A and B are shown apart, each in its own frame.
Chain A
Amino acid sequence: MSLAKRIIPCLDVDNGRVVKGVQFVDIRDAGDPVEVARRYDAEGADEITFLDITASSDDRETIVHVVEDVAETVFIPLTVGGGIRTVEDIRRMLNAGADKVAINTAAVFNPDFVSEASDKVGSQCIVVAIDAKQVSKEGEPKRWEIFTHGGRKPTGLDAVEWAKNMVERGAGEILLTSMDRDGTKIGFDLDLTRAIVDAVSVPVIASGGVGNLQHLADGVTKGGADAVLAASIFHFAEYTVGEAKEYMAEQGIEVRRT
């Protein structure tokens, strides 16, 4: 008995609809984030993360309604990321029923925002999302940098130093995505995960690259992650959250069974 490692399904939401396709046989509308979130909750998800990828800021209000609707019937922690730039954005999400917000680009452009946000709403609500890419060459000691714009723009910021900086400023948790692995289905960048986990005192969620259940387990046992986040393996009903937990439990990982 001890603290369980968490499994967090992630929904990419564009203008109020789940994108990247979700396939469950028993839900009416696979694009409805409320239905999908309920399904993950029923399967035993430990938290749910919504990533709002809506391009137009005019349409951002839709994610607020999504969170409100989900929070009415789903009683597990909910995180919302994407387009969080001001304390007002954060309050709007928390008032809608979110428990945490993930700050990404806004932290890179203005690190003080993380300090301000954690002062105003408490570190427990502030997740800093880090998109990192390996920049060291073959044979060199490994090094990763922060990238923005979906991994296209380098910032020159060292990922390990950046993570430490964010925690000093009040991040309560780090959501770490390997941009080299995102979408590849070949597994987490475990060296990156381990480097960040060892560098910071707060929980780290590993993300980017999950293609099978062994990858989830490796994120915990080899990467040292406190939680693992995945989208497509759950969306396409390749595996249920319940199956993922069974698999991890068989490998001796503490999980919450429902």
Chain B
Amino acid sequence: MKQKIVVVDYGMGNIHSVVTALEYVTDGQAEVLLTSQPELIQKADRIVFPGQGAAKDCMRELQTLGLDQAVLEVAQQKPFLGICMGLQVLMAHSEENDGVDCLGLYPGEVRHFGEVSEKGERLKIPHMGWNNISQTRLHPLWKNIADNSRFYFVHSYYVDPEDAALTVGECEYGLTFTAAIARDNVFALQCHPEKSAAAGLQLLTNFIEWDGTE
């Protein structure tokens, strides 16, 4: 049986490229399904949880579609890949939109970059373009990806988990921020692997081969 990879669709942003990239790396060997149905998400072998846009809208859509509980459940059961907003909403709370309660899988805050760096330089917001991810610890999803490889980012907020041990990758933009987190069957990153050329495709390949343990 082909494995089933579900991409969670909650109407936030352009997620077709996530599906296209997964179809490219699986090359017909897996079924890639874009869905907003909780029961299909629960039946999948792997979950990809993307997202773009504002935290408030993301949370509202997840709640309206009844996906918040489904996502939290599978995030504790199956290999789970969060991308961009799919990382941010795993935290407890976001500063965006005057404060938004998020899914709360991990304690921590989602913070705005601010327009001045720690060194006092002016920062362009959003943080947009190719930046290095420093792999702060080993993980199966970093397999065959050189440390400090560049990935494509587009975001104005970053995650600040309370438990520093969650962090598996860091990036510099005005300050050092958490670019990727991992625990048990969950891996989530701020950048867009589906738009990060060879490094991104390797990460997606690693995800579909991952057994969900570290």
Instruction: Say yes or no: A99-B195 contact (C-beta < 8 A), given A1-B148, A2-B172.
Output: yes
Q: Bound state CA distance, A48 and B184, in angstroms?
A: 37
Q: Is the CB of A6 within 8 A of B13?
A: no
A76 within 8 A of B: yes
- The answer, yes or no, to whether A228 is at the interface (CB within 8 Å) is no
A256 within 8 A of B: yes
B128 to chain A, nearest CB (A): 5
Interface hits, A81-137 → B, CB 8 Å: 94-95, 97-99, 121-125
The reply to whether B130 and A123 form a contact with Cβ atoms under 8 Å apart is no
Complex interface: stretch among B1-9, B15-23, B99-107, B136-144: B15-23
- The interface residues of chain A lying within 8 Å CB-to-CB of B124 are 201-203, 226
Contact present for A3 and B126 (CB under 8 Å): no
**Contact indicator A97/B129 (Cβ below 8 Å):** no
Cβ-defined contact, A124 with B132, below 8 A = no
Is A187 interfacial (CB 8 A cutoff)?
Answer: no
Interface string of A24-52 (1 = CB under 8 A from B): 00000000000000000100001000000
Contact B129 A4 (CB under 8 A): yes
A172's partner among B13, B126, B172 (CB-CB below 8 A) is: B126
Q: Contact size class for B?
A: 35 or more
Any A CB within 8 A of the CB of B169: no
The answer to whether A242 has its CB under 8 Å from any CB of chain B is: no
Stretch at the interface among B39-47, B86-94, B196-204: B196-204
Query: Once the chains bind, are B129 and A203 in contact (CB under 8 Å)?
Result: yes
Are B130 and A122 within 8 A (Cβ)?
no
Residues in A neighbouring B128, C-beta threshold 8 A: 124, 172-173, 203, 226
Residues of A within 8 A of B154 (CB): 124, 172
Q: Which chain B residues border A226 with CB–CB below 8 Å?
A: 124, 128-129
Shortest CB-to-CB span from B114 to chain A, Å, is: 11
Q: Mark A243-258, 1 if CB is under 8 A from B, else 0.
A: 0000000000000101
Complex partner residue of B130 from A3, A73, A202, CB under 8 angstroms: A3
Q: For the complex formed, measure the closest distance between the CB of B187 and the CB atoms of chain A, giving whole angstroms.
A: 19
In the complex, are the beta carbons of A3 and B173 less than 8 A apart?
yes
Contact A76:B17 (CB < 8 A) given known A3-B129, A124-B52, A201-B115: no
Q: At the interface, yes or no: A138 with Cβ under 8 Å from chain B?
A: no
Interface size on A, residues (CB 8 A): 33
Task: Tell whether A72 is near chain B: CB-to-CB under 8 Å.
Answer: yes
Task: Name A157-214 residues within 8 Å CB distance of B.
Answer: 172-173, 201-203
Per-residue CB contact flags for chain B residues 9-31 toward chain A (1 = under 8 Å, else 0) read 00001101100110010000000
A75 contacts B201, C-beta separation under 8 Å: yes
Q: Is the CB of B172 within 8 A of A202?
A: no
Once A3-B129, A172-B128 are accepted as A-B contacts, the answer to whether A122 and B24 lie under 8 Å apart by CB is: no
Contacts of B52 in A (CB 8 A): 122, 124-125
Contact call A75/B129, Cβ cutoff below 8 A: no
State in angstroms the CA–CA spacing of A256 and B14 once bound together: 24
Contact assessment for B150 and A256 in the assembled complex, using a CB-CB cutoff below 8 Å: yes
In the assembled complex, how far is the CB of residue A65 from the closest CB belonging to chain B, in whole angstroms?
Answer: 15
With both chains docked as a complex, state the minimum distance between the C-beta of B21 and any C-beta of chain A, in angstroms.
6
A227: Cβ under 8 A from any B Cβ: yes
A1 touches which of B152, B153, B172 (Cβ 8 Å):
B172
Q: Are B24 and A73 within 8 A (Cβ)?
A: yes
**Which B residues fall within an 8 A CB radius of A?**
13-14, 16-17, 20-21, 24, 52-54, 115, 124-132, 134, 148, 150, 152-155, 172-173, 194-198, 200-201
Task: Enumerate 13 A-B pairs (CB-CB under 8 Å) in ascending A order.
Answer: A1-B132, A1-B148, A1-B172, A3-B127, A3-B129, A46-B129, A72-B20, A75-B24, A94-B16, A97-B17, A97-B20, A124-B155, A203-B129
